[in-house]
Chains A and B, each alone.
Chain A
Amino acid sequence: MKRFLIGLSAIATIVAVPVLTEAPATAGWREAGASLVQRLRRPEVKLKLKAAKKVVTRDKQGEAKVTWKGIGNGTVVQPGDTLRYQLSGRNVGEAAAANLVLNQAIPAQMSYVLNSTQNNAGMSTSYSINNGKTFSAKPTITVKQPDGTLATQPAPAELYSHIRWTAKSGFNPKGKLSASYEVKVR
């Protein structure tokens, strides 16, 4: 009997111990968790730009061999050199990035090499020849012919001012993509 009573009182004691401020803390943890989850569920795109210089050498048979030498900041180039800029993107967030558009302004002292754009993500490519005001997949100019009529011709490379890559679908979390194009130093 006594043991029984002790047992009871022990139980009673335990029951009597007040609960610590667990409830508010729990709520706080849940809120932090919710907003933490919200933040992680956003897309976050990070970009990296690299450049390489085209080096043409001739082998023993006299055949031309093209290699690309990565260059770092401050590397010296000559007028007439061909460079390749490569833009990589990663989505380090946890939601897909919608409506992704990558932009490159071609530096003033460089001129674009026609048809040298590539990307590995099926993005559509468009170009501007009016400093970014309008973009088109195949820019053209209208040239007056000797007989006075106007003819539409592909725009020359020197007029290209911007390149834009537009993703056709969402850029998934953990996704990587890369786009590149070549220019000549003026």
Chain B
Amino acid sequence: MAIPTHSHPFHLKQYYRVLIALSFSIAGLCQGVLPALANGTQAGTSIRNAATATYADPSNPSTSISATSNEVIVTVAEIAGITVSDSGNIFSNDADNSGTVTAGDEVYFLFTVTNVGNDPTQFRIPNLATTTGPASVTSGANLEVSNDGGTTWVAISGSELITSSKAPGETVQVRVPVSITATAQANETVTVQLGNAPANAQNIERDVTGGDVFTVDGPDGAANDAEIDGAPANGVREASAIQQVNIAESLKTYTLATLLKVRSGHDDQGTAAIADDQLTYDLNLRIENSDPSGNDITPAPLSGTEISVTGGNPALDNSHSYVLVSDAIPTGTDFAGIGTVPNGWTVVYTTEALDIADAHVANWTADIPADLTTITRVGFVYDTTVQGAIAIGQTLPSFSIILDVEDTAVAPLTVANLAQVFGSSPTGAPVYDESGDQSPSNYGDENGPNSLPPGTTDNNNDNIPDPNSSLDSAGVDDGFVDSPTNPEMGVDTAGDNSGDSTPNTPSEGGEANVFVISLPEVADIQTGPTNAAAATGPSGATTDDFSNRSTPVLSGTGPGEQIDPAAVSFTNALTNNGQATGTVTLAPSTTLSDGTAVDLSQLPANTTVTLSYQSQSATYEWSGTGFTLTAGTALSIVNFAATDSISYGVEIDLPNGTPLSTDSIGANPTDLNAATIGGFALPILATLDTTPTDLTDPAQASNSTINRVYTGYLKLIKESRLLQGSGPEIATGNETFSAIAKSPATGNIIEYRITYRNISEAQSGVGNVILNVGNLVITESGTAGDNNWALDNDNNGAIDSSNVPGSASDSNSGTITFFPTGDQTGTTAATDVTDYVNTLPGVIAPQGSGEFIFQRRIN
């Protein structure tokens, strides 16, 4: 996740769960989350695209100028698509009443033909099917086609039927009447194939053979026709399917419909109060194409059932069969609106009290009531009489419902919610499922996977609901959660339709989706030096606390020299001081957490910073203007909860060619008038995101700490001045301390002054790690290195200068010892002082300094 660069006003910040819920808006579908239509973009759609740009006149950079390109338009072609799928079988005549397929029986083999193209199309259905085994298409009988999901069937006359036009997604059912021969034996296999595609492929270009099921493009130019004129770009498509039944096997055809519900959004409107919050729920309906219940069921498509509907424009026909998806409005909320609705479905409402009628027997209207607070259930209906059954293997795009929290709601508010679907299978058996689990058609509960869906009957003991039966209302739930804090039907624990992981009671049916809306939690995160995450820096805030460390500097390294410092390690602390849990990211930054820029102008390019925590490691390289991740992945600590506290490592490796921190900035490293380079400060930014799945919502809390590396931090400055002593007058200017060369004569006195200063950052705030200078020993040698003031340079038998006894002093009461012996004076190395050693007690604190002075008289 990108580290936010905008500033936070203070480290401690109220945050609100600002998930922007409405990815879907009623006015237009939001781009990024448009569900991919299984059929492809509608034929004839014009896709428009224009680009824009913004720029500025450099002489007026704050005014934005815009430009727009021409618009490019492409149109989506019509492509045809067809699938044929097995939809089970039912007895036409169970001659021996055995309930199993045996000699002499007549069985309907059902198939579903679906339009998977992007434009309405017709289908060609042949009046023949291919059988193998001890069976044949019933002599003299015709294949039959149903346009209304299996309620009514029309025999094909002649050799084929061209169906009426079917919109994308719509289906027809075909049933093949098959007679089992009189000599059929147990375990022999009967197969029936509808269509004749190579390898029973789906949606391929038609390979012309007899018995094909294929698409027939609608006629051009028909009035009021949504169908795009002209042939589909991909020609004629075909598909076929084959079904198998074993003799002496029972037939189990039933619709397995799974309804899924998730909470897709919570919008707190940017306020702490919960009464203005909105919740969005997404429902998805899945028609299974395999049987997860272990009951050997042949899955069938979903047809409608009798639902009482009125209203709508065009008006809903109450005599038709509908699939109903229903959602009772939970306690503490009111209906606010609808987000998305899949194609072909109509939104309906009921204001009837929930305890008067269950959803499938309530009175629904497509006309939205004026007062939304009177709505007790919101629903969606699909007319299978007109559009055919919903084919197996489909997961419909989401239905989404938006709820308002009521004005009188008090935090914390528990919102518990369940959705239901009602329909029927082609055998006329009722289909009823509830959300919250993966059991289709409410199959299976704690009593075992073979238990029947509640409200259904099984008088013929084939373990599927009886054909042509209806739901027993005693087994149907009203869909409303009476006790949200302890839902009577159990809870979908993870909120993702995985069911109740700790069920208290056997719960037939679905499980409630539960969400608690509570008052905002404070988010707060702190990072700082070891064990001092809440340290405060010079500003008094916790954003600029610091830890200072120095690299070693080899002895003999003088001003102006550049070094390749060893890497320096810091251990920083990180704590969650707030109440909210979230994901923490850690990374180097050019600004503090409050947006204050840190001067990184002296940080050498190619400096590397490695952050580490447990097994995570991230290395960044500084380019001179920014940090780039060059190895590992950015540190991310998930589920960092209130009171959690950890340490993480920061290793800073300055590159070869780094100057000394004690040198002066600029061309002259010993320039006494220029500021020193100082330490190389590197801010580390920690951010806490309490809503990591919401990409629109930036981090709620952040904090920073500075890790600062010094390449040495004790600056030594040596100066001299001349005193007349017993010699001639001294030249003007030589009497003040300076670093320039002086010209004393015999008898004059040189006074040397070594100023030593701890240039590191002063103590401030609370908890910062500073650099004291300890164990300081300053050695002034008149003979070592280039120093020559205790040597006889002119070879006249006497050393060139002699100690002035009593002149050596240190402003911090350092103890000065003299070599070879004591504070003596003489003209030879043995009788004079060749080395002064100043040993400082205690420490020199940051910004502390002192002066070490001694005098030499010129011989």
Listed in ascending order, the chain A residues whose CB lies under 8 Å from chain B are 41-43, 45-51, 71, 73-80, 83, 85, 87, 89, 95-111, 128-131, 133-134, 136-137, 139-144, 149-150, 152, 158-162, 170-171, 185-186
- Do residues B57 and A98 form an inter-chain contact, with CB atoms below 8 A? yes
Closest chain B CB from A30 CB (angstroms): 21
Number of B positions contacting A (CB below 8 A): 56
Would A51 and B72 be within 8 Å (CB), given that A98-B58, A160-B32 are in contact?
Answer: yes
CA distance A141 to B41 in the complex (A): 26
- Do residues A186 and B58 form an inter-chain contact, with CB atoms below 8 A? no
- Do residues B57 and A42 form an inter-chain contact, with CB atoms below 8 A? yes
Known A83-B74, A100-B54, A142-B583; further 5 A-B contacts with Cβ < 8 A: A47-B51, A99-B54, A143-B693, A171-B55, A186-B34
Would A159 and B1 be within 8 Å (CB), given that A47-B69, A75-B75, A76-B77 are in contact?
Answer: no
CA distance A89 to B23 in the complex (A): 32
Q: Which of B628-646 contact A (CB under 8 A)?
A: 636, 638-639
CA distance A66 to B234 in the complex (A): 20
Closest chain A CB from B26 CB (angstroms): 15
- Do residues A104 and B51 form an inter-chain contact, with CB atoms below 8 A? yes
CA distance A43 to B68 in the complex (A): 15
Q: Which of A51, A137, A158, A160 contacts B74 (CB 8 A)?
A: A51
Chain B residues within 8 Å of A130, by CB: 20, 32, 695-696
Chain B residues within 8 Å of A109, by CB: 41, 45, 47, 76
- Do residues A150 and B58 form an inter-chain contact, with CB atoms below 8 A? no
- Do residues A79 and B76 form an inter-chain contact, with CB atoms below 8 A? yes
A126 and chain B: residue at smallest CB distance: B2
Q: Which of A76, A80, A170, A185 contacts B58 (CB 8 A)?
A: A170
- Do residues A79 and B74 form an inter-chain contact, with CB atoms below 8 A? no
Closest chain A CB from B118 CB (angstroms): 6
- Do residues B53 and A100 form an inter-chain contact, with CB atoms below 8 A? yes
Closest chain B CB from A152 CB (angstroms): 7
CA distance A159 to B47 in the complex (A): 18
- Do residues B693 and A108 form an inter-chain contact, with CB atoms below 8 A? no
Chain B residues within 8 Å of A101, by CB: 53-55
Any A CB within 8 A of the CB of B40: yes
Q: Which of B37, B45, B639, B696 contacts A134 (CB 8 A)?
A: B696
Any A CB within 8 A of the CB of B226: no
Would A95 and B58 be within 8 Å (CB), given that A75-B75, A107-B48, A159-B32 are in contact?
Answer: yes
- Do residues B639 and A149 form an inter-chain contact, with CB atoms below 8 A? yes
CA distance A98 to B58 in the complex (A): 6
Chain A residues within 8 Å of B1, by CB: 140, 142, 152
- Do residues A79 and B40 form an inter-chain contact, with CB atoms below 8 A? yes
Q: Which of B50, B69, B76 contacts A185 (CB 8 A)?
A: B76
Q: Which of A42, A49, A106 contacts B31 (CB 8 A)?
A: A106
CA distance A83 to B33 in the complex (A): 21
A151 and chain B: residue at smallest CB distance: B638
Chain B residues within 8 Å of A162, by CB: 31
- Do residues B31 and A78 form an inter-chain contact, with CB atoms below 8 A? no
Closest chain B CB from A85 CB (angstroms): 6
- Do residues B76 and A85 form an inter-chain contact, with CB atoms below 8 A? no
- Do residues A46 and B40 form an inter-chain contact, with CB atoms below 8 A? no
Count of chain A to chain B residue pairs whose CB atoms are closer than 8 Å in the complex: 180
Interface centre among A79, A108, A143, A170 (most CB of B within 10 A): A79
Chain A residues within 8 Å of B73, by CB: 73-74
B29 and chain A: residue at smallest CB distance: A108
CA distance A137 to B34 in the complex (A): 22
Would A131 and B47 be within 8 Å (CB), given that A85-B72, A152-B1 are in contact?
Answer: no
Would A131 and B75 be within 8 Å (CB), given that A47-B69, A150-B639, A185-B41 are in contact?
Answer: no
Would A76 and B32 be within 8 Å (CB), given that A104-B51, A109-B47, A186-B40 are in contact?
Answer: no
- Do residues A99 and B56 form an inter-chain contact, with CB atoms below 8 A? yes
12 chain-A/chain-B pairs, Cβ below 8 angstroms: A49-B50, A73-B74, A78-B40, A79-B118, A85-B49, A97-B56, A98-B58, A101-B54, A103-B51, A108-B34, A134-B2, A185-B41
- Do residues B47 and A98 form an inter-chain contact, with CB atoms below 8 A? no
Closest chain B CB from A122 CB (angstroms): 15
Chain A residues within 8 Å of B539, by CB: none
Would A74 and B74 be within 8 Å (CB), given that A107-B49, A133-B696, A149-B639 are in contact?
Answer: yes
B498 and chain A: residue at smallest CB distance: A146
- Do residues B47 and A100 form an inter-chain contact, with CB atoms below 8 A? no
CA distance A106 to B79 in the complex (A): 23
CA distance A79 to B76 in the complex (A): 7
CA distance A113 to B701 in the complex (A): 35
Q: Which of B31, B77, B638 contacts A77 (CB 8 A)?
A: B77
Chain A residues within 8 Å of B55, by CB: 43, 45, 97-101, 171
- Do residues A87 and B48 form an inter-chain contact, with CB atoms below 8 A? no
Chain A residues within 8 Å of B41, by CB: 79, 109, 185-186
Would A150 and B118 be within 8 Å (CB), given that A77-B75, A102-B53 are in contact?
Answer: no
Closest chain A CB from B798 CB (angstroms): 69
Interface centre among B32, B41, B48 (most CB of A within 10 A): B32
B42 and chain A: residue at smallest CB distance: A109
- Do residues A47 and B67 form an inter-chain contact, with CB atoms below 8 A? yes
CA distance A76 to B138 in the complex (A): 47
Convert B555-599 into 0s and 1s, putting 1 for each residue whose CB lies closer than 8 angstroms to a CB of A: 000000000000000000000000000010000000000000000
Q: Which of B2, B49, B67, B638 contacts A150 (CB 8 A)?
A: B638
Closest chain B CB from A32 CB (angstroms): 20
Would A131 and B638 be within 8 Å (CB), given that A46-B67, A107-B48 are in contact?
Answer: no
Any A CB within 8 A of the CB of B36: yes
CA distance A166 to B48 in the complex (A): 23
Chain A residues within 8 Å of B33, by CB: 159
- Do residues B67 and A45 form an inter-chain contact, with CB atoms below 8 A? yes
- Do residues B58 and A134 form an inter-chain contact, with CB atoms below 8 A? no
Closest chain B CB from A132 CB (angstroms): 8
Would A75 and B74 be within 8 Å (CB), given that A45-B55, A105-B31, A131-B32 are in contact?
Answer: yes
- Do residues A74 and B695 form an inter-chain contact, with CB atoms below 8 A? no
- Do residues A77 and B76 form an inter-chain contact, with CB atoms below 8 A? yes
Chain A residues within 8 Å of B698, by CB: 134
CA distance A101 to B118 in the complex (A): 37
CA distance A108 to B48 in the complex (A): 9
Chain A residues within 8 Å of B319, by CB: none
Any A CB within 8 A of the CB of B152: no
Chain A residues within 8 Å of B52, by CB: 47, 102-103
Chain B residues within 8 Å of A89, by CB: 53, 67
Any A CB within 8 A of the CB of B140: no
Please provide the 8 A-B residue pairs with the shortest distance between their CB atoms, ordered closest to farther.
A79-B40, A47-B69, A161-B32, A97-B55, A161-B31, A49-B69, A109-B41, A100-B55
A106 and chain B: residue at smallest CB distance: B31
Any A CB within 8 A of the CB of B99: no
CA distance A152 to B639 in the complex (A): 13
Closest chain B CB from A180 CB (angstroms): 11
Would A76 and B49 be within 8 Å (CB), given that A101-B54, A129-B32 are in contact?
Answer: no
Any A CB within 8 A of the CB of B740: no
- Do residues A78 and B233 form an inter-chain contact, with CB atoms below 8 A? yes
